Amino acid sequence: MDIKTRQVIREDKEIILDILRDEIGRQYAEEINWEIDDVIYKRRNARGIVMINPEIIGYASWRKRVESICLETIGIRRELRGGGFGSELLKKAIEFAKVDFPNAQMINLVTDADARRNISFYAKNGFEASGIVNDEFIYGTPQIHMSLKI
Ligand SMILES: CC(C)(COP(=O)(O)OP(=O)(O)OC[C@H]1O[C@@H](n2cnc3c(N)ncnc32)[C@H](O)[C@@H]1OP(=O)(O)O)[C@@H](O)C(=O)NCCC(=O)NCCS
């Protein structure tokens, strides 16, 4: 697959929010907003890319934390899901992250433990579950932590 990706710029924000709308619980809205701003202005070691085909169809973001990369968000426009774009975007994100943060050893992520399709997406792309944390962000909602050695 030969799809273009590039770093996020300020003008992308509304399109990214549109892609993520209805997917990310309202409890996470404030954090997503901060995260996209951090990515745009490369604050606090946050980075992100958009995928273009021929318009923006996906977004992925990550942040270096200590010696690891935390994958923060990944999303593909709803009508294009299941076609391999998400896996391609994830690969590109990992490539970019390794260039920006060459000392990082791991890519880690956290997602709702009942989000079965997301978990199988990450597993299909090499991530392994490393633990479950109860009540981490939302009382009553367990989170699964997944990791990939890079
Ligand atoms: C998770 C996501 C980025 C995957 O992108 P994608 O382009 O659908 O992924 P791919 O086509 O490369 O891989 C498909 C696999 O992803 C999983 N998957 C997760 N959600 C899916 C969806 N809505 N449609 C199709 N496959 C989905 C399935 O395991 C599927 O494998 P299968 O085809 O063997 O069933 C995308 O579905 C999405 O944007 N979801 C909403 C946002 C979200 O929840 N993001 C993750 C948490 S931040």
45 lines ligand 1 (CB under 6 A): no
**Considering Cα of 43, then 49, then 54, then 56, what sign does the dihedral take?**
negative
Asked if pLDDT for residue 90 goes beyond 80, the answer is: yes
Mean pLDDT across 12-25: 91
Residue nearest to atom 39 of ligand 1 (CA): 75
116 lines ligand 1 (CB under 6 A): no
List pLDDT tens digits, range 31-55: 999 999 999 999 999 999 999 999 9
Asked if pLDDT for residue 1 goes beyond 80, the answer is: no
List pLDDT tens digits, range 73-85: 999 999 999 999 9
SS3 83: coil
Across the chain, mean pLDDT equals 95
Complete domains list, the chain, with CATH: 4-105 (3.40.630.30)
Residue 33, phi then psi, degrees to nearest 5: -60, -45
Mean pLDDT across 69-94: 97
Mean pLDDT across 27-32: 90
Q: How far is the CA of 123 from the centre of ligand 1 (A)?
A: 11
Q: Count the helix, strand and coil residues of the chain and give each as a percent rounded to the nearest 5.
A: 35, 40, 25
Residue 58's pLDDT is 97
131 lines ligand 1 (CB under 6 A): no
Residue 114, phi then psi, degrees to nearest 5: -95, 5
32 lines ligand 1 (CB under 6 A): no
Judge whether 86 and 43 are in contact, CB under 8 Å.
Answer: no
Q: How do beta strands 128-138 and 106-112 pair?
A: unpaired
| 86 or 26, higher pLDDT | 86
Residue nearest to atom 25 of ligand 1 (CA): 82
